[in-house]
Amino acid sequence: MGETRIGVFVCHCGTNIGAYVDVPQVVEYVRGLPNVVHAECNLFTCSEEGISAIKKAIAEYNLNRVVVASCTPRTHEPLFRAACEEAGLNKYLFEFVNIRDQCSWVHMREPEKATEKAKDLVRMGIAKASLLEPLEEVEVQVTPSALVIGGGVVGMNAALNLAEQGLEVQLVEKEKQLGGILLHVHKLFTTDEEASKLVGSLVQKVKNHSQIKTYLSTKVKSVSGFMGNFDATLDQNGKESNVKVGTIIVAIGAEELKPAGQYGYGKLPNVVTQLELEQRMKRGGLGGQNVVIINCVGARVPERTYCSGFCCMTAVKNATLIKQSSPEARVWVLHRDLMAYGVEFEDYYRKSMEQGVRFIRYGLEKPPEIMGDGKAEKVKVWHQLRGREVELPADMVVLTTPLVPRGDNEEISKMLKVPLSEQGFFLEAHLKLMPIEFATDGIYICGSARWPTDIAGGISQAYAAAAKAAIPMRTGYVKPEAITALVDEDICSGCGTCEPLCPFKAIELQARNGKKVSHVAEAVCKGCGTCGAACPSEAITMNHFRDVEILAQIEALFS
Ligand SMILES: Cc1cc2nc3c(=O)[nH]c(=O)nc-3n(C[C@H](O)[C@H](O)[C@H](O)COP(=O)(O)OP(=O)(O)OC[C@H]3O[C@@H](n4cnc5c(N)ncnc54)[C@H](O)[C@@H]3O)c2cc1C
């Protein structure tokens, strides 16, 4: 490639870096380093001005390596790489140095030391950049068909959205019917529309859509392959079939917690959960009754600290519906905090109070108590506002419980090699930057399988997941990152150490000229480096993180 010509761009990131690191001093310093032919600072290197400066400098100084010292590669690496590519430079000849998260932000009270550390970090980046090699990405064809697992309101919306774009969808539902939890729900907040109306119209649209093939009473037995080329085996009551798909959307929902043993649930016949109440209301009114609803049962407690979000509105909805159908009924909602967020929910809550529903706040230190013989007859609760205990007559006690992960989560997580959160829900790649994607390319997550959500939130996620999945399927191909592991088959001893270590199942032993060697599926490999670090024969090279590049960085640190 001839002479190495590096351009360095040091970003102020407004005051994020500039207020603590002496950016002009860093620029002055790097100008004297080997192979650096151009260095400048920018207020925001990611701005249009900053990007043009990079492209201009590549042409003007004939740069063949670019180093940007700024914020984080998580958000900005693609942007700077694209700038290099647009200026005709292979994007893998770009090196990112993070002088914000690990420098200015953590050394705000020591600006001089922060500046010295920034110089060290940039010097290391330049040393690595000097040795970078151009890499080429392989093109992988994408089958224009998606597998949607779960036929609840969210899975059906994702399927319809993809089908409307002309893409084929294989919709797999383990039950005999599409609809999920909503099949058992009476009416929906805040419109009080019948849940069956929404489900019915969605099921009709799914059934009538020529692009959607629905498999009822079916589970996905196994999945192999990678983004663009997944092979799934479906099991429909013992009958197996195979489908080839380009992408997978997980929408298997969650289930209502059954709070066995709490407040007499399971023992007292008139203590029920919200979903059981919904089913009774679906069958007909409750008559003039005294109903006590207890919120946050099994939620926001030490063993399950999260809030399901929508259950307060479910309690408000059902309390109001009882009052509407039997104005003589007396209904109390015992709550810890009432989550009536947004523009509609607060009004819905206010109207509920106007219609005579009584709300009483309780604390965890004095939870409500059920009194009665063989059935609940009264609920005793410490009324925080009145500062005394009150006894409420109860013909029925309704427990508002959170959504909890389905038992299937573990099995599907292992099958698709995607992670679960601490609570057992599916874990997205990044809460803010990749909220409906898994780290494994081509697999997406939406609805209450990801986190308890109401219908509106679930549908937004369904559309987002469908939109993301549609991009590679409509483009017809993807170009996975070229930063992958590379096996030297002559050196590989076929010991197999790497195979079980790979978190993405990208490596397998294959037969070559009478011996076994490791083979890396480039489209699956994420370049994490686990195999390279473990290989006893040093047969695995990590593209873009070769030993020489890392060693050069270390040497630069101590030089
Ligand atoms: C009592 C109660 C009342 C509610 N009331 C309201 C309301 O009024 N308004 C509102 O906005 N929200 C309400 N919700 C929340 C609402 O139910 C959820 O937002 C919605 O169900 C989420 O849809 P989903 O498709 O993600 O999940 P689900 O409805 O759980 O559907 C998931 C589907 O996946 C299927 N599945 C599971 N595992 C597999 C597998 N391994 N393979 C294939 N298929 C599988 C399930 O059988 C199911 O059909 C209520 C919830 C409860 C519990």
The residues that bridge with 404 in the sheet, in sequence order, are 255
Q: Is 204 exposed, middle or buried (0-12, 13-18, 19+ CB in 10 A)?
A: exposed
CA-446 nearest atom, ligand 1: 26
Of the candidates 249, 296, 172, 185, which has an alpha carbon nearest to the alpha carbon of residue 449? 249
**Ligand 1 centroid – CA 391 distance (Å):** 35
pLDDT at 342: 84
**Ligand 1 centroid – CA 252 distance (Å):** 8
pTM across the whole model: 0.86
CA 344, 345, 347: angle at the middle one, nearest 5? 70
**Ligand 1 centroid – CA 261 distance (Å):** 24
CA-274 nearest atom, ligand 1: 1
Q: Give the CA count within 13 Å in the CB-facing half-sphere of 551.
A: 3
Q: Which protein residue's CA is at the shortest distance from atom 39 of ligand 1?
A: 252
CA-178 nearest atom, ligand 1: 49
Pairwise CA distance, residues 88 & 559, whole Å = 33
Of 147, 181, 459, which is best to mutate to test ligand 1, by the most ligand atoms within 8 angstroms of its C-beta?
Answer: 181
Q: Which protein residue's CA is at the shortest distance from atom 1 of ligand 1?
A: 275
**Ligand 1 centroid – CA 180 distance (Å):** 5
CA-277 nearest atom, ligand 1: 1
**How many CB atoms neighbour CB 120 within 10 A?**
15
Burial 42-70 (b: 16+ CB within 10 A, else e): bebbbeeebbebbbebbeeeebbbbbbbb
- Return all residues near 276 (Cβ < 8 A) that are at least 6 apart: none
Taking every pair of Cα atoms in the chain, the longest distance, rounded to a whole number of angstroms, is 91
Of 188, 310, 312, 316, which is best to mutate to test ligand 1, by the most ligand atoms within 8 angstroms of its C-beta?
Answer: 310
The residues that bridge with 193 in the sheet, in sequence order, are 188
Of the candidates 348, 361, 399, 396, which has an alpha carbon nearest to the alpha carbon of residue 187? 348
CA-448 nearest atom, ligand 1: 26
**Ligand 1 centroid – CA 204 distance (Å):** 18
Omega of the bond leading into 190 within 30 degrees of 0 (cis): yes
Tokens representing 234 are 């479906």
**Ligand 1 centroid – CA 258 distance (Å):** 15
Q: Which protein residue's CA is at the shortest distance from atom 35 of ligand 1?
A: 150
pLDDT at 433: 83
pLDDT digits (tens), the chain, 559 positions = 589 999 999 999 999 999 999 999 999 999 999 999 999 999 999 999 999 999 999 999 999 999 999 999 988 999 999 999 999 999 999 999 999 999 999 999 999 999 999 999 999 999 999 999 999 998 999 999 999 999 999 999 999 999 999 999 999 999 999 999 999 999 999 999 999 999 999 999 999 999 999 999 999 999 999 999 999 999 999 999 999 999 999 999 999 999 999 999 999 999 999 999 999 999 986 766 899 999 999 999 999 999 999 999 999 999 999 999 999 999 999 999 999 988 899 999 999 999 999 999 999 999 999 999 999 999 999 998 899 999 999 999 999 999 999 999 999 999 998 999 999 999 998 888 899 999 889 999 999 999 999 999 999 999 999 999 999 999 999 998 899 999 999 999 999 999 999 988 889 999 998 999 999 988 889 899 999 999 999 999 999 999 999 999 999 999 8
CA-188 nearest atom, ligand 1: 8
**Ligand 1 centroid – CA 338 distance (Å):** 22
Of 252, 257, 411, which is best to mutate to test ligand 1, by the most ligand atoms within 8 angstroms of its C-beta?
Answer: 252
> Pairing between strand 6-11 and 36-42?
parallel
**Ligand 1 centroid – CA 182 distance (Å):** 6
CA-456 nearest atom, ligand 1: 11
CB 228 within 8 Å of CB 235:
no
**Ligand 1 centroid – CA 276 distance (Å):** 15
Burial 165-186 (b: 16+ CB within 10 A, else e): bebbbbbbbbeeebbbbbbebb
pLDDT at 288: 67
Q: Which protein residue's CA is at the shortest distance from atom 4 of ligand 1?
A: 314
**Ligand 1 centroid – CA 148 distance (Å):** 15
CA-273 nearest atom, ligand 1: 1
Rg (the chain; Cα; Å): 29
CA-to-CA dists, residue 76 to 47, 66, 69, 105, 164, angstroms: 11, 14, 11, 17, 33
Question: DSSP 3-state helix, strand, coil percentages of the chain (rounded to 5)?
Answer: 35, 25, 40
Q: Which protein residue's CA is at the shortest distance from atom 15 of ligand 1?
A: 454
pLDDT at 160: 98
CB 378 within 8 Å of CB 351:
no
- Return all residues near 480 (Cβ < 8 A) that are at least 6 apart: 137, 138, 140, 227, 441, 522, 523, 524, 525
Of the candidates 292, 347, 297, 361, which has an alpha carbon nearest to the alpha carbon of residue 322? 292
Q: Which protein residue's CA is at the shortest distance from atom 14 of ligand 1?
A: 454
Give one DSSP letter per residue of 75-107, joined into a string: HHHHHHHHHHHHTT--GGGEEEEE-IIIIITT-
CA-187 nearest atom, ligand 1: 8
Pocket of ligand 1 (CB under 6 A): 149-155, 172-175, 180-182, 185, 188-189, 219, 251-254, 256, 274-275, 278, 310, 314, 317, 406, 408, 412, 447-449, 453-456, 458
**Ligand 1 centroid – CA 222 distance (Å):** 23
Pairwise CA distance, residues 315 & 399, whole Å = 9
**Ligand 1 centroid – CA 21 distance (Å):** 50
Q: Which protein residue's CA is at the shortest distance from atom 24 of ligand 1?
A: 253
CB 345 within 8 Å of CB 309:
no
Q: Is 205 exposed, middle or buried (0-12, 13-18, 19+ CB in 10 A)?
A: middle
pLDDT at 1: 56
CB 252 within 8 Å of CB 418:
no
Q: Could you identify the residue written with the tokens 């890392």?
A: 550
